[in-house]
Chain A
């Protein structure tokens, strides 16, 4: 893309080239820090990750220095074998399915509940700012702390949720040790964490919708549902398309909740792609090449998401 433009301009007369340079060198100089940092800190590791994903590197054959002894790397180039393994494995299908279910359920609940709360808060009433602060609280607590809080609340023996269930005469549920309940638990925790952001963002969007539109529709006899459907939802679209995509990316990459609440267990039931790749690289015999290949597969999925996001931005008039 860039080279196109530069190439075309370079063919222009000499004075044009100089003018071109003098017009743009400020912009280039100002973007240079980020471009350089990104190329060094992201680009280079990324290339190295691609390379590692094409080898059979593990903890055992990775070069390392122990005291004075330098042990050279002995891993070998294996081509696309890691990718073939991943794409043909049943783990991939089951992890991908769960990651998609997890992302869709979480985002749907975030946006649904967030929108409901935003609409309740978007009307004059007593104690409104108090409710607002109380409802935002889950976002204010760092996510890793929340994951630990939930691990305690849902603990089978000492957890208050089971204690309440038992006090009410039901049996306790082994929330984090049963595959299905563990999935429910991680979703519950993540929904609790994520609703406040959606609520605030959508509340901002609601407040940007001119009140006259609602009043005019009311005068014309529109029912509340019609007003919601034809005024509120279209009016929210700029904000909601952004937050849905942000939420999708965040949930897809949600590492702390899964890692700290269930460690991906029981038996991998709650493992999403990101935690799976991480645990391959840093638990048991460290499989660096396999994990790097998983990372690249995840990257491919995210690039598709980025394309969708950009298209959404473009529709809103951000032309680039």
Chain B
């Protein structure tokens, strides 16, 4: 492998090698610049931001950060986001794990209907369900309550998790199931004692993806959360750049505080995410 690799590297002329690296460097700059500029801007004091200077470091200060953490509800919103996203992820995975296994292994009457249901409900955009769910939640008094928001998120994460886990269970060899059945386990016992422990990475990815979905959701959160004690981060951030005033310093500092941990975790697991999303395809 490495011999082949070194041969191809040698076979590339210097000019082409330079062109390749220049293209990749240019692409990397486009990809990194917005984030880098965000970080740099968050370190500038307000008066510098409002002069629209293109300087990289000007009077660097952490004032924006101390103000975001000390004088806004940022930490409350972050806690709200974590509560809602965790609840969504845990419930989503718990409810959908058995279904993912069943549609991966069994061909039963109703199988096609279940698959159709999973496929169609995952593509339901927010516009279809938000009005009726809003009205129902209003009737139940769940507007501006976390459970209402979690229920709204479950409508999309449950079918999505089931779909994703089907893809993961498909990669677990059926021979393991057969061995379990020969040894006298029930189908559920096979799932619980043999397959589920093997599928932990798949469960983690599905949970993480549900977490991300809830974490970054804007529409339901904006419509359902009416009091600023209950805002999630996605709603709260808009408060910094309203119609009449724009606190770009606070916005950028808050964005950095949200983006850095999210990006760090994300980069660690992204390989698994891609595999999960395209599992159906790569297998076939």
Contacts and interface: CB of A to CB of B under 8 A. Distances in A.
**A and B bind:** yes
B237 interface: yes
Interface of B: 4-6, 8-9, 17, 20-21, 23-24, 27-28, 30-32, 34-35, 37-38, 41, 49-50, 52-54, 95-96, 98-99, 101-103, 106, 108-121, 123-136, 138, 151, 154-155, 158-159, 162, 186-188, 191, 212, 215-216, 218-219, 222-223, 233-234, 237-238, 241, 246, 248, 251-252, 255, 258-259, 262-263, 266-267, 270-271, 274-275, 277-278, 280-282, 284
Task: Pick the 9 closest A-B CB pairs, nearest first.
Answer: A277-B127, A242-B281, A30-B102, A27-B108, A253-B125, A140-B263, A27-B106, A45-B132, A140-B266
B218 A9 contact: no
Given A127-B21, A158-B248, A295-B129, 14 more contacts: A5-B110, A24-B106, A28-B110, A30-B106, A41-B151, A137-B263, A141-B35, A145-B255, A152-B248, A159-B52, A197-B277, A252-B125, A256-B219, A288-B135
Contacts of B98: 29-31, 33
Contacts of B103: 31
A192 B35 CA distance: 11
B259 A31 contact: no
A200 B41 CA distance: 30
Contacts of B127: 273-274, 277-278, 291, 294-295, 298
B126 A200 contact: no
Interface centre among B24, B109, B131 (most CB of A within 10 A): B131
A118 B177 CA distance: 37
B154 A37 contact: yes
Contact of A2 (B24, B52, B102, B109): B109
B250 to A, nearest CB: 11
A216 to B, nearest CB: 14
Nearest to A241: B281
Given A34-B95, A295-B131, A260 B117 contact: no
A305 to B, nearest CB: 7
A160 B278 CA distance: 37
Contacts of A1: 112-113
Given A62-B135, A260-B238, A302 B123 contact: yes
A110 to B, nearest CB: 13
B129 A42 contact: yes
Contacts of A117: 24, 27
Contacts of B96: 33-34
A1 B138 CA distance: 36
Contacts of B112: 1-2, 320
Interface of A: 1-2, 5-6, 9, 24, 26-31, 33-35, 37-38, 41-42, 44-46, 48-49, 52, 62, 64, 117, 120-121, 123-125, 127, 131, 133-146, 148-153, 155, 157-160, 162-164, 167, 192, 195-197, 200-201, 204-205, 208, 211, 238-239, 241-243, 246, 249, 252-253, 255-256, 259-260, 273-274, 277-278, 281-282, 288, 291-292, 294-296, 298-299, 302-303, 305-306, 309-310, 313, 316-318, 320
5 contacts: A27-B108, A140-B267, A253-B123, A260-B238, A310-B116
Most chain B Cβ neighbours within 10 Å, of A42, A46, A253, A292: A42
Contacts of B234: 142, 144, 256
Contacts of B266: 139-140
B204 to A, nearest CB: 17
A277 B30 CA distance: 33
Nearest to B40: A160
A201 B128 contact: no
A160 B223 CA distance: 32
B270 A149 contact: no
Contact of B123 (A144, A167, A306): A306
